[in-house]
Amino acid sequence: MQDVSLTATTLPRPRLHLRGLIREILDTLILIGAIYALVNLATVRFIVDGHSMEPNFSTDQVLVVSRVDYLLTPPQRGDIIVFNPPNQPPDEPPYIKRVIGLPGEVVEIRDTQVYVDGRPLNEPYIKEACRPSRCPDNQWQLGPNQYFMMGDNRNNSSDSRVFGPVGLDRVIGEALVRYWPIDKWGVVKDIAYPQEAN
């Protein structure tokens, strides 16, 4: 019978390298900081103040607004945009409205109905029919890079009917997500475009 001897081999115990741990923590913090900075450069939070966009958006709701969308493609009709109105003092808060007219188009209000290039605009998103005193007959010819903005609550909105077309250089960005209050969370495209809208 052969004598078998077993030799115990001991594996080296893993050691915590303090320098490696500190580097991992620093790398993680730098990554978090970079992501935070990128998100803040690309987006801004906007708190709705006022009744001009009811019934779709109301006071104290918080939206995420993209600063980069319009670097790639121009605004489209129906987009919900945050912008600084023409001739507004720098300390005044920005406005939020819906894009109604695009560059080169003719926007007209006739008998309280909005027309774009002579065609009536289907607007199932508005709160109520506009009163004649708030929507008097008028016409605007939009130039290059000019947009006509209107609130969804036409009877309680200061918009392009008052201050005229808005240049693209005045646009802060497109509203993407409503995240507060939590029970009103939603993607703005889903909130702002009822199914029957064009």
Catalytic site residue 52? yes
Catalytic residue among 5, 66, 97, 160: 97
Task: State how far the alpha carbon of 140 is from the alpha carbons of 80, 117, 147, in Å.
Answer: 20, 10, 10
Catalytic site residue 66? no
Among 61, 43, 64, smallest CA distance to 52 is for 61
Cis check for the bond before 55: say yes or no (omega within 30 of 0): yes
Distance (Å, rounded) from C-alpha 164 to C-alpha 85? 9
Are 186 and 177 in contact, with CB atoms under 8 Å apart? yes
Specify the 3-state DSSP secondary structure of 93.
coil
What residues have CB less than 8 Å from 123, skipping those under 6 apart?
A: 114, 197
Are 165 and 99 in contact, with CB atoms under 8 Å apart? no
Catalytic residue among 52, 66, 157, 160: 52
**Residues identified as active-site:** 52, 97
